[in-house]
Structure 1
Amino acid sequence: MGMKIITSGVDSEYVLANLCEDLRSKGYEVIEIDFGKFKGNVYEYLEEHLGGPIVYITSAHTNLSLRVASHIAPIFTTLYPNYVSPLEMIAYLKPLVSMYIPHDLLTPYGDTNLNEYRFLDVFDYILAPYQAAEVERMIASKGTKVYEAGWIKYVSDYKHYRNTQESSEPIEMMLFVSMVEHLRTKYGVNGFVDYLLPLLRSNVHIKLPVWKDIEIIEVALKEIQGVEVVSAQEDSISLIQRSHIVICNGASSIHAEATLLGKPTICLLDDEGITAEDQKKKLEHLHNLHFYDYRSKQAIPDDLLENIRQKSIRPILKNFDFTLVDMLIKQLTVRS
């Protein structure tokens, strides 16, 4: 049997679709498992596809199993009862080689609550979005090779990979929403919309992340006159590139993506899910990021928006290198 590529992740944390399409175009057999969509028993499903050498690629939190999630994020176990962590997948698949591609640009190698960096050496390759040398210093085992591959969500020809005719028209303000599960659980759908209402003016586009039943909130937002609701399925990077100002709550990968792409970015400071002080600590290393206190739920003043709008800087993010993944797999083919 020929080599198979198996990938895994969950909903907005599954960022490998473009890579999989590229690999299929090169003739590889690719099996994608997005636990936001997958139904049934994953082990039974995999059993049907086992045989021959396997390359395993993941963008999921390395050691976030259902058992761990039941202690630190119980809602995760309810939303994704069939989820299997990368550690469990590696133990089951026994792949010829495994690769880790981060899904979060803000904390690519995990937040402090999971100590994920301690598990990086279970992978053969880490495809870092940037600063590969710093990642190498975090890894205990020298058997793990780190490559600076660029940002997986930053694709030079995204229209080809997304098969989309997305508009290239500029966007005045692009509002991305994080902490979705926290806000929905705390306030319900109507309260979620009320939370955002002061920000929703006629020149604002809004995008929610890919998450379970997110369409219900999208429908509610579309009832607000003049607001452009962008499908959760749309590519965030292309939206950021078209935007004059990017706005996001929480402490999100969006903040990192937008600032590293040179866009003036506003972080809405409040205490929803993460305190305002913790937000500042997590984001303080980012340039071109502006904090706005949203605890009083007041609209952002026009003069502040106009001032921020003038502060674009040179982008430093690099497109993801698909050819690197192909090269690493071809090396395996020769060896096996």
Structure 2
Amino acid sequence: MGRIVLVTGVSHDLGGLVARRMASDPEVSRVIGVDVVPPRGDLGGVRFVRADIRNPVIAKVIAGEDVDTVVHTSVVSSPAAVGGRGSMKEHNVIGTMQLLAACQRAPGLERLVVKSSAAVYGSSSRDPAMFTEDMAPKRMPRSGFAKDVLEVEGYVRGFSRRRPDVTVTLLRNAHTISSRGGSIMVDYFSMNPVPKVLGFDARLQLLHYDDLVAVLHHATLAGVHGTFNVAADGVVMMSQALRRLGRVSVPMPQVALSSLGSLIRQTPLTVPHFSGEQIDYLAFGRGLDTTRMRQVLGFEPVFSTEQALNELSSKLGPGLLETHPVVSLERLVAGRAGATGATGATASLGHDVRADRRDSDG
């Protein structure tokens, strides 16, 4: 008998890909995918169960299906994906609490894999060159996705103490990029020109989206207890990444970039969400020590940071995006003084992306 795996969040891109990959693995007997809405695409051999992890009914699903492995992928990073910041916090924190309560009551559970995020480390001028898994953020997050994942990790550690018989794997992934769809960083790099924080050159250590799917699959079958940073080899500077992608950058003060994000969110356009934590990341970046990922978890990403950028560059070539002169962004900023200018300028930055892929980000 192979493993019986339950995957949360299968209506989103990440959960669906992980579930389908699990279902094709000979070491897995059955895969049950749960979410509040049916998936848009075909899940192949995955059995879909419509269930909300915030509802205690999830315990009946785990018990009724004889689940021995739970893979929790549905901690979302974008408020737009779940209807606003309040819903996002309820989904991330309350949902995880209910899921862990259900897992605690499941005597047959053997493994729990939780997708967290490197956002737990924050981004500041006092950060070390590389964060190891036992380091704490230099500045504790007070709101947003980073605060959610800190709370989620706290509840996961509490579950691990109560159920020492369960192997718990916590994965802190770096920001993801891929030519196949949108993420927070792909949305950012897709802007042309790209607003860059004036006076800063962030250190970027990224992760290809395919490697995120692969590490969740690997961790599920490896059954290694612990917390692991997950990122690609190599660090590049923001200026290097923009040149590699052929993007035009417009230096802007942090305050102005925050105002730009607020202005854009008042329009119907789908563009990056410039939250406070995101602006800090765009200013300072983040580096992750991945020694434990390789030596203990036994996972090796296929793509380095540079290779992931090169793969994205092939998608952001001429013809994919409309190229506008720098004056378009300047008009957008100036438009704060007049509604007409703002409307015309923001229209020049529109592009269509998939919101659910953003949920994979850190």
Higher RCO, 1 or 2 (CA under 8 Å, sep at least 6)? 2
Calculate the TM-score normalised by the size of structure 2.
Answer: 0.36
Calculate the TM-score normalised by the size of structure 1.
Answer: 0.38
Bigger fraction of residues in helix: 2
